[in-house]
Amino acid sequence: MTQTGERTGDASEMARPNMPPPNLPPLSLHVPEPRFRPGDEADFSDFDIPAPGATPRPDESAAPADMRDLAYGLVRVLGDDGQAAGPWNPRLPAETLLKMLRAMALTRAFDERMFRAQRQGKTSFYMKSTGEEAVSVGAAHALQRDDMCFPSYRQQGILIARDWPIIDMMNQIYSNKGDRLKGRQLPIMYSAREAGFFSISGNLTTQYPQAVGWAMASAARGDTRIAAAWCGEGSTAEGDFHSACTFASVYRVPVILNVVNNQWAISSFSGFAGAEATTFAARAVGYGIAGLRVDGNDILAVHAATRWAADRARANAGPTLIEHFTYRAEGHSTSDDPGAYRSANEGSHWPLGDPIARLKRHCIAIGIWDEDRQAAMDRDLAEMVRDTARQAEKNGILGHGLHHPMESMFEDVFEEMPWHLKEQQQQMLDEQKAAGL
Ligand SMILES: Cc1ncc(C[n+]2csc(CCOP(=O)(O)OP(=O)(O)O)c2C)c(N)n1
Ligand SMILES: [Mg+2]
């Protein structure tokens, strides 16, 4: 630029008046790449897996700064020998162990049946939680029944653990005349206020600020109920995750923030959400929140961590962020084919095993269960799910027309339907009639 304001030289000189020394390397970006792709033999032998019982258990009122190591470790209770070990062992009564085993098995049987129903064209969409059942079932048993859950689409185990009727879930999946949500939500996006199960949203992580807000309201009213939210590891990349953490930290909100790290976000691996740099539990460190990293396939560890966080929240000692380290054993949804992007044997090589098999082994090891009873339970549950599905199908399946009347889509927004909606509703009915529908 000259004194009179005229430009001199070319544009690049203008943009970079002080050229760097010529010996610097060109800048570049790191693009994460998963370790195994289709055709690769998965090998997790270099995983650092602490022994069950090895992780210390701080007091529920511990300052986040005094328990940072827990955000980088892995709380584990169940060993390969089926025994429970260490300070995190929740020492649950046999009755609770068997209830959790049944709820996980029912969740899996339900998933199997509904997946098949989608393949048979009875519904448009389904999402399984195979391999991740301990995350939701363990938490549901550690929370109070009236604590409020803000789940993602992979925590159907909460509803099942809270004994919500599975026919109600099936009616929603079939969007039939028994669907309490009247076909207004995508299949599997349940809403059950009476079960403390907030409406699932397809927009990832919106449930996080909602959970924090709900828990703030609970505290503002002097209530004793806490909230818990779940999102996937991929979803932690959403802005909502971070604003929720900020509010939770600032106001010491009585909330549990669960991150279900199942390694995959549809076809993107966890590295794209930051897993190569640090753990997801370590997000807590930056916000000054208590952070726990837990073996998500060990239901006793999940239960113990959730109870720890719930006691902490109830004592006004602040929120907890829990990373559940697990593995999405199947496809993301019925619309996905994981064979296109990940190694076929990743699941079978997963070093933390299967959550149902691990709890079963424990129950057998402590003498309250056996293989025959497990087989009988699996058979009974499969039959019960099949019979219930038949009942639900009588209320209608996809394409059979047994849904709520079309005009009902205008209802339930306003207490009194305003005139312009009435007009639109009538117009729709007239058009349907004219078309002979
Ligand atoms: C805001 C938003 N962005 C993108 C999507 C599309 N989407 C649906 S599920 C999903 C992957 C989420 O992965 P993760 O959070 O790890 O949960 P997971 O499915 O593994 O349980 C994506 C990208 C969406 N539904 N909402
Ligand atoms: Mg995921």
Each domain of the chain, given as residue ranges in start order, spans: 64-394, 405-437
Q: What is the predicted pLDDT for the residue at 1?
A: 41
What is the pLDDT, as a whole number, of residue 2?
44
Residue 315 is given by DSSP the state T
Tens digit of each residue's pLDDT, the chain (437 residues):
445 444 444 555 556 677 777 888 999 999 999 999 999 999 999 998 999 999 999 999 999 999 999 999 999 999 999 999 999 999 999 999 999 999 999 999 999 999 999 999 999 999 999 999 999 999 999 999 999 999 999 999 999 999 999 999 999 999 999 999 999 999 999 999 999 999 999 999 999 999 999 999 999 999 999 999 999 999 999 999 999 999 999 999 999 999 999 999 999 999 999 999 999 999 999 999 999 999 999 999 999 999 999 999 999 999 999 999 999 999 999 999 999 999 999 999 999 999 999 999 999 999 999 999 999 999 999 999 999 999 999 999 998 888 899 899 999 999 999 999 999 999 999 999 999 88
Residue 234 CA: which ligand is closest? 1
Structure confidence at residue 346 (pLDDT): 94
In whole angstroms, give the CA distance from residue 50 to residue 428. Answer: 62
Looking at residue 234, its pLDDT comes to 98
Question: Distance from the CA of 265 to the center of ligand 1, in angstroms?
Answer: 6
Which residue puts its alpha carbon closest to atom 11 of ligand 1?
Answer: 265
Which atom of ligand 1 is nearest the CA belonging to 332? Answer: 19
Decide if 64 contacts 49 (C-beta within 8 A). no
Cα 223 to chain center, whole Å? Answer: 26
Residue 325 and residue 233: Cα distance in Å, rounded?
Answer: 9
Q: What are phi and psi of 338, to 5 degrees?
A: -65, -20
> Which residues partner with 335 through β-bridges?
none
Nearest-angstrom CA–CA distance, 211 and 187: 22
Give the β-pairing of 264-265 and 268-269. Answer: antiparallel
Q: Which of ligand 1's atoms lies nearest the C-alpha of 153?
A: 21
State the fold for domain 64-394.
Rossmann fold (3.40.50)
Question: What pLDDT shows up at residue 293?
Answer: 98
Pocket of ligand 1 (CB under 6 A): 152, 154, 202-204, 231-235, 260, 262, 264-266, 328, 332
Query: DSSP label at 27?
Result: P
Question: How remote is the CA of residue 44 from the centroid of ligand 1, in Å?
Answer: 25
**Spatial separation of the C-alpha atoms in residues 245 and 321, rounded to whole Å:** 9
How far apart CA 286 and CA 300 sit, in angstroms, is 28
Q: CA 84 → CA 87, 103, 300, 323, 363, distances in Å? A: 10, 20, 8, 21, 10
Helix 299-314 × helix 355-365 angle, to 10°: 100
Kindly state the tokens that stand for 120. Answer: 């048979």
Q: How far is the CA of 260 from the centre of ligand 2 (A)?
A: 7
Ligand 1 centroid–CA 402 distance in Å is 31
In whole angstroms, give the CA distance from residue 243 to residue 213.
11
Kindly give the distance from the C-alpha atom of residue 308 to the centroid of ligand 1, in angstroms, as a whole number: 28
The atom number, within ligand 1, closest to the CA of 260 reads 21
